């Protein structure tokens, strides 16, 4: 029996014994506590209990059935339980605040207890030392246990924690081969197809119904284009034909599952470094070096040049006209938020209205967004056009109509992204702000930002999707120590009819299941 299975039977043993009554004057019952194991609720007449003063949840453990291939041997004289299975041994001794895990001493939150002839252990120890995630939701009074081996295989039922009409999406990053395809699949058609299909299956099993796939990372394409070269993420070499049409395959596989496919473009990034020697001959930095500005060790297409903006519109429209996509999606890379962007020559040549440079830059992006939206809707009115801006438009300290935040970067001032105008003018169909902070992050608090964005789209006809940050789960930043943070955010969204769904960044950060987010999302969407 492998170590993961060993984890599973450990949990089973801990939970099966909940059916056996126990007594103890020093323990108080934790009434109305729900326990969930790998997405399934466990029903027991005997609940866990919480030790007073130390506030540690305790559960009993006993010998489990021989059919599971593991055993617990209790030595009365030493008051020690030896748990063995799969080549691993855990030793717990009454009165000691340490345990032995494969011979190594591990501290316990509280001593092993003997109550009514049963051995009782701290539940948190199970999660931290035996590979299980243990999450406590104070509001719902729920203990959620998840094993690292558990990933649901069946799509959830419609409805539940989020309406079936809500968009539930994930960003699939192709830049740097972050989410798909893997570098080991370079030039391997079948492997790339299998990787994408497996990724879709896992996302759909969590309850997601849409993907936002990056089809343009840096002046390139994940499809055969007459305007830009093949992306290097497919073969390792820019301009090299991978031997099939990845975009067509991805769209077909996505639609086969009843999911939406949104083509995600990074509009202005030309190259991830300043080296041009490895770029294909038809790359924009080679053909139009006068359109490109070097900043932060990257090459950026200058939004101040009308012909450069039109080139990007033409690139997007090539996909709109040729493919059955559900949406066109832009990320928040407009003008760079840091570094010196040398566009003095373009400012002098094209600033015909006498604007300040800051206003001129915002006007350039406004023109681009307006013209792209008009082109998309004129060609295919059913295709949705949306943008995912940085989560803070402006701080109240700068603009009284901004959000109650203290962000060091803002969309309007740092990226020249006048999102308010795009929304009020209905140049876009949806806005998906990247609210990548927790409920307890005071400088940019999640709930305050949702409040602000919900008010911003009110009465405009523009849908609001919220961008969430599962990639922060398990990091030291405030609020990300439990997967419940994401669930609390989803629950908060239901306060507003304006919030039409959620998008998670990114696919890999869901699949690797930090802090049990897979099970948490699955359970939420199945409610």
Tokens of 427: 């140049």
**Which pLDDT score is estimated for 14?**
47
Identify the three-state secondary structure at position 20. Answer: coil
Q: What is the CA angle 466-467-469, rounded to 5?
A: 135
**Which pLDDT score is estimated for 408?**
96
The count of structural domains within the chain is 2
Tell me whether residue 27 is in a domain. Answer: no
- The strand ranges marked E within 231-356 are 260-265, 269-271, 292-295, 298-301, 327-330
CATH no. for residue 56? 3.30.457.10
Same domain flag for 139 and 190: no
Same domain flag for 404 and 487: yes
User: For residue 441, what are the CA distances in angstroms to 183, 329, 422, 436, 499?
Assistant: 36, 28, 28, 10, 21
Expressed in percent and rounded to 5, the helix, strand and coil fractions of the chain are 35, 25, 45
Whole-prediction pTM: 0.74
Same domain flag for 68 and 212: no
- Residue 42 domain boundaries: 34-147
- Cis bond before residue 181 (omega within 30° of 0): yes
Same domain flag for 171 and 125: no
Tell me whether residue 1 is in a domain. Answer: no
**Which pLDDT score is estimated for 82?**
74
Same domain flag for 101 and 218: no
Same domain flag for 180 and 139: no
The arrangement of strands across the sheet holding 142-147 comes to 40-42, 34-37, 142-147, 132-137
**Which pLDDT score is estimated for 29?**
44
Q: What digits encode the pLDDT tens for the residues 376-423?
A: 999 999 999 999 999 999 999 999 999 999 999 999 999 999 999 999
- Point out the residues of the chain with pLDDT beneath 70: 1-48, 58-72, 83-88, 115-164
Contacts 24+ apart (CB under 8 A), 238-241: 238/278, 238/279, 238/280, 238/283, 239/279, 239/280, 239/281, 239/282, 239/283, 240/187
Output phi, psi for 424, to 5 deg.
-65, -35
**Which pLDDT score is estimated for 465?**
98
Q: What is the CA angle 345-347-348, rounded to 5?
A: 65
Output phi, psi for 132, to 5 deg.
-100, 145
Tell me whether residue 216 is in a domain. Answer: yes
The arrangement of strands across the sheet holding 292-295 comes to 269-271, 298-301, 292-295
Q: Are 151 and 205 in contact (CB under 8 A)?
A: yes
Same domain flag for 247 and 342: yes
Same domain flag for 394 and 324: yes
Which element (helix H / strand E) includes 229?
Answer: none
Same domain flag for 63 and 173: no
Between the two ends of the chain, the Cα-to-Cα distance in Å is 33
Same domain flag for 442 and 516: yes
Positive or negative, the CA dihedral 417, 418, 422, 423 is positive
Which element (helix H / strand E) includes 197?
Answer: helix 189-206
**Which pLDDT score is estimated for 40?**
58
Tell me whether residue 102 is in a domain. Answer: yes
**Which pLDDT score is estimated for 107?**
73
Pairing of strands 499-504, 56-61: unpaired
């Amino acid at each position: 029996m492998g170590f993961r299975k060993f984890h599973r039977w450990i949990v089973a043993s801990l939970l099966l014994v909940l059916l056996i009554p126990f007594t103890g004057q020093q323990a108080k019952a934790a009434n109305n506590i729900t326990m969930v194991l790998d997405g399934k609720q466990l029903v027991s007449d005997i609940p866990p209990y919480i030790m007073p003063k130390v506030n540690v949840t305790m559960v009993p453990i006993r010998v489990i059935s021989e059919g599971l291939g593991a055993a617990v041997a209790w030595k009365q004289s030493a008051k020690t339980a030896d748990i063995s299975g799969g080549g691993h041994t855990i030793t717990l001794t009454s009165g000691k605040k340490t345990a032995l895990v494969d011979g190594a001493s591990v501290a316990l939150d509280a001593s092993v207890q003997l109550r009514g002839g049963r051995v009782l252990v701290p539940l948190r120890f199970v999660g931290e030392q035996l590979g299980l995630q243990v999450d406590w939701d104070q509001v719902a009074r729920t203990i959620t246990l998840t094993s690292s081996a558990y990933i649901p295989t069946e799509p959830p039922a419609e409805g539940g924690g989020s309406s079936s009409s809500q968009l539930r999406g994930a960003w699939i990053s192709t830049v740097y081969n972050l989410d798909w395809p893997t570098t080991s699949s370079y030039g391997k058609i079948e492997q790339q197809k299998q990787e994408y299909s497996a990724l879709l299956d896992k996302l759909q099993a969590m309850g997601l119904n849409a993907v936002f796939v990056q089809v343009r990372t840096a002046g390139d394409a994940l499809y055969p284009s007459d305007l830009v070269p093949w992306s290097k993420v497919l073969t390792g070499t820019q301009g090299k034909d991978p031997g099939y049409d990845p975009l067509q395959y991805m769209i077909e596989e996505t639609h086969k599952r009843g999911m939406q496919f949104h083509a995600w473009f990074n509009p202005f990034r030309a190259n991830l470094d300043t080296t041009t020697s490895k770029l294909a001959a038809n790359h924009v930095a080679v053909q139009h070096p006068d359109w490109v500005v070097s900043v932060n060790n990257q090459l950026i297409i200058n939004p101040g040049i009308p012909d450069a903006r039109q080139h990007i519109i033409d690139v997007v429209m090539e996909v709109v006209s040729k493919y059955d996509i559900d949406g066109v999606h832009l990320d928040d890379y407009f003008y760079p938020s840091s570094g010196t962007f040398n566009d003095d020559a373009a400012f002098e040549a094209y600033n015909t209205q006498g604007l300040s440079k800051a206003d001129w830059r915002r006007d350039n992006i406004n023109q681009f967004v307006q013209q792209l939206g008009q082109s998309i809707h004129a060609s295919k009115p059913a295709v949705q056009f949306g943008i995912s801006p940085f989560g803070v438009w402006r701080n109240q300290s700068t603009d009284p109509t901004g959000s109650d935040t203290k962000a060091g970067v803002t969309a309007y001032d740092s990226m020249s992204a006048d999102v308010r105008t795009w929304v009020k003018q209905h140049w876009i169909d949806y806005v998906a702000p990247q609210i990548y902070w927790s409920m307890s992050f005071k400088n940019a608090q999640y709930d305050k930002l949702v409040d602000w964005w919900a008010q911003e789209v009110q009465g405009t006809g523009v849908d609001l999707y919220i961008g969430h940050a599962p990639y922060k789960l398990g990091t030291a930043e405030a609020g990300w120590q439990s997967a419940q943070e994401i669930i609390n955010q989803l629950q908060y969204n239901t306060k507003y009819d304006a919030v039409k769904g959620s998008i998670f960044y990114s696919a890999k950060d869901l699949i690797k299941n930090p802090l049990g987010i897979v099970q948490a999302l699955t359970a939420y969407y199945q409610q």
